[in-house]
Structure 1
Amino acid sequence: MQAWHVHSNGEPKEVMRLAETEPPEPGPGQVRVAVRAANVNFPDALLCRGQYQIRPPLPFTPGVEICGRTEDGRRVIGTVALPHGGFADHALADEAALLPAPASLDDAQAAALHIGYQTGWFALHRRAHLQAGETLLVHAAAGGVGSAAVQLGRAAGARVIGVVGGPAKAGTARALGCDLVLDRHTDDIVAAVKDATKGRGADVVFDPVGGDAYAKSAKCVAFEGRIVVIGFTSGHIPAPALSHAMVKNYSVLGLHWGLYAAKDPAAVARCHDRLTDLADQGRIAPLVSERVALSGAADAVQRVADGTTTGRVVVMAEGAA
């Protein structure tokens, strides 16, 4: 079979190499999955760079999220068991981590449903307790995780303000249904959010960016608002002033979705059931902007790392939908 291997850490386009190799052998509790589609996530780039929380032994195959078929014929989605990731003809996964792929979604959409939408759901509902009628501010609203948060916010009945970088991404965010779209390059984010909310500010902030995005969020969060920290795609981890949170009476919440899989897997399964219902109803639909062949995986991971893509880029098996 073919698989992308990373033999040393660095930029994805420099360290990913496509090779012929033997199919991986499942260990205890694992299954081998024929990959139909593998969604590209920012953590794939961090894995290549050696900057992710998990550092698999070298060489490894990136591609942390897949849709595929098990050897007994089930169509499934889920996270992989590294070092045998999804940018390959076959991957390994823990049986307990696999979930049924929604029939209403094709392979590419199904591959993109899991991590981003689970992250959005737990952030907005489990951590921030988003309510209908509240204002949700989503940074990187045209990206993979951000686009999921926009759709989930709208499904929850929130008013959604999306922050993006550039006119092309602004168009994507509008198409997703944002009530207001702000360009971080040209708009005064703080003033615009306060103006749009008549001075109140955003009730919930979804922040996968960190750095300057977090700093601006703290200046326009509402009384008893909630800032949910998802990640730091900007490369800058902010050091929040706790005195500011105290004086303004807002909460800063962390969300590491992977911990739920380890500590409360039943919650992950319940979330998947809810996401499947929303997909079947047409209320959410993963934004797949590109479908690329396996041979294009390294370039796809690099472009996601560079922040030049919108929605999800998905690596497809030959003949997959």
Structure 2
Amino acid sequence: MKAILCKTFGPPEDLILEEVPSPRPEAHQVLIDVKACGVNFPDTLLIQNKYQFNPPLPFSPGGEVAGLVREVGEGVKYLKPGDRVLSLTGWGGFAEQVVADAATTLPMPPGLDFVTAAGLMYTYGTSYHALKNRAQLQPGETLLVLGAAGGVGLAALQLGVLMGARVIAAASTDEKLAVCRSLGASETINYASEDLRERLKEITSGRGVDVVYDPVGDLYTEPALRSIAWKGRYLVVGFAAGEIPKIPLNLILLKGAQLIGVFWGTFAQKEPQENLQNFQELLTWIAQGKLRPHLHGTYPLAEAPLALRAMLERQVVGKAIVVVD
């Protein structure tokens, strides 16, 4: 089979398309013929050895796939060859085949296409866990989404609207913010040209925001934290802007606020039943047409490095998908 391989840590341009042996599933695993694979910011960190953990070299990036079950390992009861599935793999998805744990592989709902399915697990899984389980977002509250035009950002925006919140979307270009408005943002802030803190003060009449969803970090964190309302919740999702910020903890004290870490991958491992419940709710909304990933574009397998480069350059609005023919 063909696979995109990371043989040495470095930029996307160092990745290589090669012919490699097909993997075989072990007990409680499935072998999937990959039809599509989502592109996510952690993929860019994995290939540079900058993530919290790394697979041994060589490996293929790509942590969420949609495809067809080819073979099941011993002990797999509810999946069979030919089933259409979506799966959280961690890595290995930029390939024609990948082995996945049966526990993180779900049947695809009828009518869902592979490209859409491949863009669901990371973005909506992360954002719904953050807003539902961690922040306990309530109808009528104000939600600020930083990096609102990225994959998890747009998912958080859509989910916030669906959950009854007033959503303020912050992003770096007017073009990105136009997409945010089309998906339901009540207010938008271009934090490349506007003062984030002053605009939040203006929009909320000085009250502040109830929940901040922050996958960006860097210089945007402190002004957003200073703009949080009394008893607000600050969701630490990631650091896509590069720098991990240092938090003045006195702001948490003065606001009576909560600083809340969000690591969906560990949540899915440690609380699988709760994670499954979340996905049942998400897939219901998707089947009802209430949620749908915003597709940035598709890339053939050989051009997967270009997708990762676009992600690093912050050119991706919504989801980029690698399609395997």
Same fold by TM (over 0.5)? yes
Q: Which moved more, 1:238-247 or 1:118-127?
A: 238-247
Q: Output the aligned Cα RMSD.
A: 1.1
Question: Aligned equivalents of 1:239 and 1:81: distance in 2?
Answer: 28
Deviation at 1:105, TM superposition (A): 2.8
Could you give the per-residue CA deviations for residues 58-78 of structure 1, whole angstroms, max 9, x where no partner exists?
A: 000110111111121111112
- Bigger drift between 96-105 and 127-136 goes to 96-105
User: Which stretch shows the higher mean deviation, 201-210 or 183-192?
Assistant: 183-192
Asked if 1 retains the 8 angstrom alpha-carbon contact of 2:34 and 2:66, the reply is yes
1:74 maps to 83
Task: Identify which range, 99-108 or 213-222, moves more after superposition.
Answer: 99-108
Letter paired with 2:298: R
| Residue of 89, 98, 101 corresponding to 1:91 | 98
Contact 2:144 2:213 in 1 (8 A): yes
* 1:6 and 2:6 correspond: yes
Aligned counterpart, 2:176: 169
* Identical-pair percentage: 38
Q: What are the superposed Cα offsets for residues 106-159 of structure 1, whole Å, 9 maximum, x if unpaired?
A: 211111111110111110010101000111000111110100000000000101
Aligned pairs (5 A) from 1:225-240: 225-240=232-247
Q: 1:125 aligns with which of 114, 125, 132?
A: 132
Partner of 2:36: 37
Question: Alignment length, in residue pairs?
Answer: 315
Once the two structures are superposed, the pairs formed by residues 232-251 of structure 1 within 5 Å of their partners are: 232-251=239-258
TM-score normalised per structure 2? 0.94
Aligned residue for 1:284? 291
- Measured after TM superposition, the shift of residue 81 of structure 1 is 5.7
Q: Which amino acid aligns with 1:290?
A: G
The superposition leaves residues 150-180 of structure 1 with CA deviations (integer Å, 9 ceiling, x where unpaired) of: 0000000101000011122122111221111
Distance 1:142 1:241 in 2: 27
* SS of structure 2 residue aligned to 1:49: coil
1:1-321 equivalences in 2 (<5 Å): 1-13=1-13, 15-71=14-70, 72-80=81-89, 82=91, 85-318=92-325
Name the SS for the 2:148 alignment partner: coil
Q: Distance in 2 between matches of 1:102 and 1:198?
A: 44
Gaps of 5+ in 1: none
Please say which of residues 104-113 and 270-279 is displaced more in the overlay.
Answer: 104-113
Contact 2:42–2:51 (CA<8 Å) still a contact in 1?
A: yes
Give unmatched runs, 5+ long, in structure 2. 71-80
Moved beyond 2 Å, runs of 4+: 102-105
